[in-house]
Every structure is written in C-alpha cells, then in structure tokens.
Structure 1
Amino acid sequence: MADAGMPVNQLQRREQIRREVLDSGYVKIEQLAAEHGVSGMTIHRDLDVLEQQGWLRKVRGGATSTPTAVLETSLRARMTDAAEAKASIAAHALQHVSPGQVVALDDSTSALAVANRLTSLGPLTVVTNFLPVISLLGGEPGLQVIGLGGDYRPDYDAFLGLHAADMALTMRSDVLFMSTTAVVEGHCLHRSQETIQVKRALMRTTAKRVLLLDHSKFERRAVHELAPLTDFDVVIVDADTPEATIEDLRLADVPVEVAEG
C-alpha cells in the first residue's frame, strides 16, 4: 500500500503500474489496488487509460502486457530491432541532405541511425526532441543542435507532449526524417498520442518529409493514426520489404525508394 506520508499522483501511479505490467507480464487489479492504496475502480480507470495508450491489454481481473509495448519500451531493444535494415535506410537517406540545411529528426531509432551519419555532412542545424540524438551530436564540429523541450518521457528517452509540439511549430526545417510504429492499409499508426503531437508539428514545419520504414513496420499494428503515406515526399524502405508490398505502395502513389545497400 502506498505510504500515506508520500502521496503518489495519478501520473506517477500509472507509470508505476505500466512498469509493473511490463516487468511481470500480468498484474491483478486487487493486487494493484492494495499496493497503491486506492480503490479497484481507480485501478480500472488507470488500466483503461494505459490500454488506450497501447501499453497493456485488460483481461478479466487484471491486465497483461502487449508485444508491441514490450518491444518499444527499451531503447536498447528498439535500437537492435531491424538494426541492419535501419542502417541501410539511413545510408540511403543521406542523399536527401545537403550542407547548410536544417535537418529535423523525430524520436525514432530509425532517425537516430541517420543522426549517426550526419557528422561528416556539416555545416548543419539539427532539430530534435530525442535525447540520444542531442547527446550524440551536441558539440560536434559544424553541427548546431536545437533540442525541443517539453515533458521528458524516460520510456522514450524523448521530450514529448504539448510543450514540445508547440516548440516544434516555431521551427522551420528543410528536411524531416521520421518513422512510425506500424503501417496498416497505407496509413502510419503509432502507439503514443503524445509522440504523434510532436511528429505532426515537425511535419507541418518542414519543406520535405522523409519517412523511414524498415520491413517490420508492415507486420505490426498500433492504435493511433499519424498520417497517410501519401503525406510524405519520400518513403524509404529496405531491400527485405516484400516486392508485393512495394508494388502496392507504388500503385497507391506513395513516393517509395528502396535502400539496396
């Protein structure tokens, strides 16, 4: 039960519940209510919110973690997932960067793979809400890094939410590199609404939108719609993307490029 001398607010409680579900794979409502010193109805509401965000799935008497949530919670897991495909896509993406440009990067590990290759292309200005990109490029010769502030989310290692989105709207970039959780029926889907806020703001303020899609994105599903693929100027996929998928994209007038190397 929660310590009466140290009250836990709603957001903190939900974060603790989220982590417990991810760590154990399953939690009981009555157990959570006892641990946090709240009613079962309060826990039900917490689980409803976390389920809507895609972190878990409510079941009778409790909740279980979702495969997508487990995959994306760990930055290390995200970086190793389809790492070769992301590297290939990032190398191909560099042809869309020219010295002197303002380059925007979202909080995806696909964009981080691009960031790893930007140090030799300066001078550049890099705009991002992703802390690993700020840490990687900050102080590099020829690169100016502008970090988008906001609510820091350790599960994404990024600054998200309304404040980050508002700051993004004050920026103007020449090219944006971003990714998404899943692609279903020609639309980008994402698990987090907070992330979508910032991504949409970056999309609104760039001259060129480049979407980075390794083949695994076509095998997943997510809750929230981000944008149709046709909203992007370039969609880069890796060579392991099925030919039928690439053909479907082209038939739908999606401006797709295949990273071969």
Structure 2
Amino acid sequence: MADPANQSQRREQIRREVLASGYVRIEQLATEHGVSGMTIHRDLDVLEQQGWLRKVRGGATSTPAALLETSVRARISDAAQQKAQIAAHALQHISPGQVVALDDSTSALAVAERLAPLGPLTVVTNFLSVINLLGGEPGLHVIGLGGDYHSAYDAFLGLHAADMATSMRSDVLFMSTTAVVDGHCLHRSQETIQVKRALMNTTAKRVLLLDHSKFERRAVHELARLTDFDLVVVDSGTPADTLADLRAAGVAVEVAEA
C-alpha cells in the first residue's frame, strides 16, 4: 500500500516542478521519484482535477490559472505580517463617505481586506483581487478600472486603465512599489507605472505603504520620489537609520506598531 505522506509529498514536488518549468514528462517524473509511470499518471490526474496542470500526451503542462494563483499567492505571502501591520495602521486615514483608491499592490490588498466595517465608502481600483474581494460588500461601492488585463499582476494595466483612472477623483490613495532606492520609488513594470501615476494625479492624499524589504530591493522603472507622497507608512521592523534618512530628506513617515 502506498504511503499517503510520501504520495502527498511527491505530488507537491510535481506541482512545483510543472509550475516552475511549464512542462513535465511522465517518463522523467517516474525516474526522478522511483515510481511507475502509472503512479505518475494517477498523480497528474489528481493535480489536474485540482486545477494545477493539464495532462497532455506524454506529460503535463501548467495552466494559466495556476500560474496566476501562484504569482498572486507569492506576492501576498511576501512580508505578509508587515503588510498587515501597515494596513491596520493605514485605516486611521480613512473616513466614512470617502472615495478610496487602491493600486494593484498586495499592500493595498491588505488595506482592502479591512475596509468593509468602515463603510460607506467608494473604492476605485485596477486590481481584480480587490474587486472580487469587495464586490457585493454592504456599504461599499466598487469601481473597477478597465483596460488590458495582465494575469501576472491580476490587474488591468496600460493606457486604457490609466485614462479611466484619470477621469476619477479620490480622497485618499493607498499604494506601494517594488523598491526604494536613494529616495526614489522604482517598479518592474512600465504598464503598472502608468496607472499608478494616474491614480496619484487624481487623489487628494497620497499614502505609500512600504514594508522594510522594499529598501533592500532594486527595480528598473522610476515611479516617483518619496517626497511626492503626503505620507509613507512603514512597519516596525524598518531600521532606525533608514527612518532617520527618510525624515532628514523631508519624507513624512509614520511607523505602524506591531
């Protein structure tokens, strides 16, 4: 009889491999795991039923939905405790009746998860995860910014989404960025920056949410200067010298307590 623990571990390894490489061969998997081809067939059947892959002749390929879920899940799990800490602090900058704009960052998603009790509110966002989360919540009016859908970000990006954002006005914007270098916010995606800038240009108050890992990263495209924001909220793990540098540069900073 097969060991359920070994079986579960093998299927998890197969799931990770197909997501990483995009394609796996049954013969190769059987050799790697020391089991029969029929056993691998059964493993793939289970993973296909769960939506992680699609069986093809001789192997299996990843599905777009699985890649999307993995991408978003990875972003959500990255510094999750710090993002929750920052989001809880950020709520004090929201008042009932306001229009709240949220970008496609998982830091903003953490804020969205806490908005329902604060209604009535209007929420403007290009992040499909936020739309799905808040759509139908009593007291919340959700406006989705349409445009070109990018599955890697689960968001509507590019010129059309930016144009729609330009036609909106919000009381407060919560957003984040990939990295902060020498007082500048940087991001990986130019399409994302278009929408972020449009949201920044049409809000009364710009709030940047930064867990301390952002200060250790690098990215290519410049989004804005830290001083372009009315407020920067960081987590309690942000080094003291980083906070001192920010304040010396004229950045308005609040530290979210644990």
Q: TM-score range by the shorter chain?
A: 0.7 to 0.9
Letter in 2 for 1:242: P
Pair 1:189-2:186 in alignment:
yes
TM-score by length of 1: 0.73
Q: Where does residue 254 of structure 1 map in the other structure? A: 251
2:97 counterpart SS class: coil
SS in 2 for 1:74: helix
Aligned-partner residue type, residue 253 of structure 2: V
Counterpart check, 1:166 vs 2:177: no
Report the equivalent of 2:200.
Answer: 203
Q: Report the counterpart of residue 245 of structure 1 in structure 2.
A: 242
Give 1:166's aligned amino acid. D
Pairing partner for 1:215 from 207, 212, 234: 212
Q: CA deviation at 1:23?
A: 3.1
State the match for 2:149 in structure 1.
152
Once the 2 structures are TM-superposed, how far is the Cα of residue 99 of structure 1 from its aligned partner? 0.1
Task: Measure the CA separation in 2 of the matches of 1:145 and 1:259.
Answer: 27
* Secondary structure of the corresponding residue to residue 107 of structure 1: coil
- Any idea what SS the aligned residue of 1:140 has? coil
Please give the root-mean-square deviation of Cα atoms over the aligned residues, in Å: 1.6
In structure 1, the gaps of 5 or more residues are 1-21, 26-69
Number of residue pairs aligned between Structure 1 and Structure 2: 195
Matches of 1:254 and 1:248, distance apart in 2: 9
Deviations 1:40-81 (A, max 9, x none): xxxxxxxxxxxxxxxxxxxxxxxxxxxxxx9xx811000000
Are positions 1:114 and 2:111 aligned together? yes
Structure 1: distance between partners of 2:187 and 2:20:
22
Superposition map of 1:37-186 within 5 A: 74-186=71-183
* Aligned partner of residue 176 in structure 1, secondary structure: strand
Mapped partners of 1:148, 1:173: distance in 2: 13
CA distance in 2, matches of 1:75, 1:186: 27
- Structure 2 partner of 1:6: none
Cα distance in 1 for partners of 2:20, 2:235 equals 32
- 1:221-244 residue CA offsets vs partner (Å, 9 max, x unmatched): 000000000000000000001000
- State how far apart, in whole Å, the 1-side matches of 2:217 and 2:111 are: 23
Alpha-carbon offset, residue 24 of structure 1: 4.0
State the secondary structure of the residue aligned to 2:90: helix
**Bigger Rg, which one:** 2
Aligned partners of 1:227 and 1:85: how far apart in 2? 23
Q: Return the letter of the residue paired with 1:175.
A: V
- Long gaps (5+) in structure 2: 1-18, 23-66
Distance in 2 (CA, whole Å) between partners of 1:233 and 1:92 is 15
Distance 2:125 2:94 in 1: 16
Provide, for residues 7-36 of structure 1, a one-character-per-residue CA deviation record: whole Å limited to 9, x for no partner: xxxxxxxxxxxxxxx9349xxxxxxxxxxx
Q: 2: CA distance between counterparts of 1:123 and 1:260? A: 27
2:233 to 221, 236, 240: 236
> Which one-letter code corresponds to 1:223 in the other structure?
V
What secondary structure does 1:163 align onto? helix
How many Å apart are 1:165 and its aligned residue?
0.1
